[in-house]
Amino acid sequence: MSNSNVLQIRKIIFDNFNEIDLRFSNDEIYEFLKKTDTFDKSQTIDDLESDFKKIENDGLVRCIAQNFTTQWFKIFDDIEKIPCTSCNTDAYLGKEESRICPNSDCNATL
Ligand SMILES: [Zn+2]
């Protein structure tokens, strides 16, 4: 799946950092990713830069600080889990995000 990292990152934020006052880093998310079976562990934190950029551009998170390769984020809004009946996966979307399935192979309206 072409954007599986982005989908996994969305789920990790939902499961662990779904609080608007909480700050979390790309390094913390990377640690969770490495524990995910489907994650290609040859990928370094640098390889994920575009994936973090994507969730920022999509309006899920904002970057609040950066120190070398470490980026700190906060979510904009509570994240909701919405079942997508088109691709049979759960979509994790911030409340203000467009109701479009973030799976790039699907993109169904939810
Ligand atoms: Zn879908």
- Across all residues in the chain, what is the average pLDDT? 95
E strands, 38-88, are 61-67, 70-75, 79-84
Question: What domains can you pick out in the chain, each with its CATH number?
Answer: 4-78 (1.10.10.10)
Residues 38-49 have a mean pLDDT of: 94
Cβ neighbourhood burial of 55 (10 Å; 0-12, 13-18, 19+):
buried
pLDDT in tens, 53-100: 999 999 999 999 999 999 999 999 999 999 999 999 999 999 999 999
Using the mean position of ligand 1's atoms as its centre, give its distance from the Cα of residue 78 in Å.
20
- The pocket of ion ligand 1, defined by CB under 5 A, consists of 84, 86-87, 101, 103, 106, 108
Using the mean position of ligand 1's atoms as its centre, give its distance from the Cα of residue 105 in Å.
8
Confidence of residue 37 (pLDDT cuts 50, 70, 90): very high
d(C-alpha 51, C-alpha 109), whole Å: 22
Using the mean position of ligand 1's atoms as its centre, give its distance from the Cα of residue 104 in Å.
8
The residue written with tokens 């980026």 in the block is: 71
Using the mean position of ligand 1's atoms as its centre, give its distance from the Cα of residue 109 in Å.
8
**Among 87, 109, 102, which residue's Cα sits nearest to residue 57?**
102
Whether this prediction's pTM lies above 0.85 is answered by yes
Judged against a pLDDT cut of 80, whether residue 21 lies above it is answered with yes
Percent of the chain with pLDDT over 70: 98
**Among 76, 20, 39, 110, which residue's Cα sits nearest to residue 102?**
110
Using the mean position of ligand 1's atoms as its centre, give its distance from the Cα of residue 91 in Å.
7
